[in-house]
Amino acid sequence: MTDPQTTTIPTRWHSRFDPRPGLRRVRDSAIAITQIVVAASCAYWFASEVLGHPTPLLAATVTVSSLGLVRDARPIRVVETIVGMLVGILVAELLLILAGSGVWQLGLSVAVALIVARFISPKASFAIAAAIQAIIVMALPVGVPFVRLLDGLIGGIAAVLVTSLIPRNPLRATLRDGAAAFAAVQDAAATLSQALRRGDRMRAARALEKARGLQPVMENWGESLESGLAISRISPFTRRRRFELERQSRIYSSLDLVVRTLRVVARRAVYLSDDALARPLAADLVSDIFRGAAVVSASLTDISVEPEARAQLFAVAAHLDPRTLAPDASLGDQNLIASLRPIVVDLLVAAGVNPNEAREAVPRL
């Protein structure tokens, strides 16, 4: 048997370079890349061959900038970006007519585009899109006024059409982000359970830190769901997935409440752990509750496991009375157990239980 202290560590170049993350990024962006290529090519061809524009650069660049490879592919975001770019093009076109081209004219066009865009929209990306297009117009002037505004409009129309006709797969992103959110929540809950079982204040503080750090993964999931639902409303090819997206939205809303309550529970655990006493009952309850949450997570891809999730959570909820479970415990310990009740209720709702029925599942205090 090889001594673990003398085990050879591979140091060859292929052990340091792993192409798999890059390949995953390419795979996940395949539809977005297809959208951009098709929209840019079609917009450029239409402006060049059909309308006879000599250099329809903006017809292509507007499609690339508005579609992009970002997570949020909602049509409203695409339209907002297009409007921002058209504002920049219009400002630059007007200044070209009034003041001509040059260095100071370019600076003035950027300034005016930023001012107008900031007045129209509070989003910084809107203003930046306007400024970039203003620079392109001033740097590459053509003889006929407003030709580039028409090119930009053609590119914007192509981007919106492609969003509907070649939609990004809304379920792939939402399922990936949902699984990541549940995994992060489970990790925080497992740390909390270990802290309570050992009476470990440092571990409880770590659980609180993890619970407070859950917001980014929840925001990612929420953004993916908003984008997917928006696409499913306008695209005939993704409309059939709307039911699953709406079901995920219900689960997301409930898990968001679970995360908020988990922070409260973790804060109480940190406070109670000052006495360094083990709390196996509370630890077992946390484990049982989030064992049910794991089944809810599995229901994201398999709705048939929802009844199993409901059964597990109902079993925990029925006994979640601190006066019965820990009659001799301190008020702080009883409050800790009581603070777990909203988590069970919210997870039941995530598993498809009516909110009123979920609230009735826990004993009245």
Q: Which of 9-13, 21-25, 126-130, 260-264 has the lowest mean pLDDT?
A: 9-13
- CB-based contact 255:181 (threshold 8 Å): yes
Picking from 97, 91, 139, 138, the residue whose alpha carbon sits closest to that of residue 118 is 91
As a three-state string, the secondary structure of 287-324 is HHHHHHHHHHHHCCCCHHHHHHHHHHHHHHHHCCCHHH
Spell out a b/e string for 276-296, using b for 16 or more CB atoms within 10 Å of the CB, else e. Answer: eeebebbbebbbbbbebbebb
Q: Which of 193-197, 229-233, 252-256 has the lowest mean pLDDT?
A: 229-233
Spell out a b/e string for 63-74, using b for 16 or more CB atoms within 10 Å of the CB, else e. Answer: bbbbbbeeeebb
Q: How many CA atoms lie within 13 A of 244 on its CB side?
A: 20
What pTM value is reported for the model?
A: 0.73
The tens digit of pLDDT for each residue in 266-314 reads 999 999 999 999 999 999 999 999 999 999 999 999 999 999 999 999 9
Q: Which of 4-18, 33-47, 137-151, 314-328 has the lowest mean pLDDT?
A: 4-18
Q: How many CA atoms lie within 13 A of 221 on its CB side?
A: 28
Query: What one-letter code names the amino acid at 2?
Result: T
Average pLDDT rounded to a whole number, residues 213-228: 91
Phi, psi for residue 9 in degrees, rounded to 5: -100, 120
Q: How far apart are CA 306 and CA 221, in angstroms?
A: 20
The pLDDT, as a whole number, for residue 4 is 43
Picking from 189, 172, 203, 170, the residue whose alpha carbon sits closest to that of residue 347 is 189
The tens digit of pLDDT for each residue in 135-193 reads 988 887 776 778 888 989 998 899 888 887 777 777 788 999 999 999 999 999 999 99
Grouping H, G, I as helix, E, B as strand and the rest as coil, residue 30 is helix
- CB-based contact 132:106 (threshold 8 Å): no
Neighbours of 146 (CB within 10 A): 16
- % of the chain residues with pLDDT over 70: 92
